[in-house]
């Protein structure tokens, strides 16, 4: 029998970061999305989202173990992209289950797998049932920054709105106002390079996800662009 409770343990983010399968999936994802001319979805994005997920989880009052699980889900959330972009959240969830099913506590692997699957669903499918999922959405969708644009794509940046919007973000900060229970994404957009309306063309659904995620956590979500409060 493959299931053995004695083999189950509390996996940490450091365990995940050392796992050769996870590292291979993220490496292949980075290569695949470079070919598709997408923004960075490799280790840089994975590490940022993991760190941000842990911070958000701590600030909204999640238990220390749930903070760790949020960081793990944040690190692994995009690793299914090398199989297919459209359903990458489902591929990533299944890959995580396959890699850790024999060593990770079942209830915990279920939560992490669900958080990975939930991070990029269509709005009508976005129904949070655990706080880890909500935390990962906030951590992921708030990663807007110039450095996500791959250097080799800068010369063709005017032909791709995704690259243009990220490259136009000269400043990005996710703030957590604990007393007000408010998550605020603050951006400075170079409007000589990209009009603010283009940001909304790409990110309106993502900001809607962030608002839903914050509300599930009992917080509010705010968006500030060029010092103007928009949400």
Rg (CA), the chain: 18
Residue 182 CA to residue 170 CA, distance in Å, equals 23
The domain that contains 94 carries what CATH number?
1.10.3210
What's the total number of domains in the chain? Answer: 1
pLDDT given for residue 121 in this prediction: 73
4-10: list long-range contacts, CB under 8 Å, 24+ apart: 4/102, 7/102, 7/103, 8/103, 8/104, 8/105, 8/106, 9/103, 9/104, 9/105, 10/65, 10/68, 10/105, 10/108
> CA of 177: how far to CAs of 115, 130, 153, 159, 219, in Å?
24, 22, 36, 37, 10
How far apart are the two ends of the chain, measured CA to CA in Å?
52
pLDDT given for residue 150 in this prediction: 77
pLDDT given for residue 1 in this prediction: 39
Burial profile 178-208: b = 16 or more Cβ within 10 angstroms, e = fewer: eeeeebbbbbebeeeebebebbeeebeebbe
Q: What is the pTM for the complete model shown?
A: 0.92
Please say whether the beta carbons of 146 and 118 come within 8 A: no
Which residues, 6+ apart, have CB-to-CB distance to 49 below 8 Å? 74, 75, 77, 78, 136, 139, 140, 143
Mean pLDDT by runs of 10 across the 231 residues of the chain is 65 97 97 87 96 98 98 97 93 97 94 94 74 97 88 70 83 94 95 83 86 96 91 75
CA 149 and chain centroid, separation = 16
- Residue numbers of the domain that contains 191: 5-229
pLDDT given for residue 122 in this prediction: 60
């Amino acid at each position: 029998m493959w299931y053995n409770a004695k083999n189950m343990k509390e996996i940490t983010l450091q365990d995940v970061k050392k796992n050769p399968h996870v590292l291979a999936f993220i490496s292949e994802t980075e290569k695949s999305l470079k070919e598709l001319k997408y923004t960075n979805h490799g280790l840089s994005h994975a590490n940022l989202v993991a760190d941000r997920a842990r911070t958000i989880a701590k600030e909204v009052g999640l238990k220390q173990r749930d903070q760790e699980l949020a960081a793990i889900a944040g690190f692994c959330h995009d690793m299914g992209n090398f199989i297919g972009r459209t359903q990458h959240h489902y591929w990533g969830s299944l890959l995580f289950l396959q890699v850790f099913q024999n060593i990770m506590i079942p209830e915990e692997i279920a939560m992490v797998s669900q958080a990975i699957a939930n991070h990029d669903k269509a709005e009508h499918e976005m129904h949070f049932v655990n706080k880890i999922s909500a935390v990962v959405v906030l951590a992921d969708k708030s990663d807007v920054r110039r450095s996500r644009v791959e250097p080799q794509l800068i010369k063709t940046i005017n032909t791709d709105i995704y690259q243009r919007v990220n490259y136009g973000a000269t400043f990005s900060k996710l703030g957590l106002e604990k007393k007000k229970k408010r998550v605020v994404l603050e951006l400075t957009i170079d409007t000589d390079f990209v009009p603010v309306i283009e940001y909304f063309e790409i990110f309106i659904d993502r900001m809607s996800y962030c608002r839903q995620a914050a509300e599930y956590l009992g917080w509010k979500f705010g968006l500030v662009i060029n010092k103007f409060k928009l949400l």
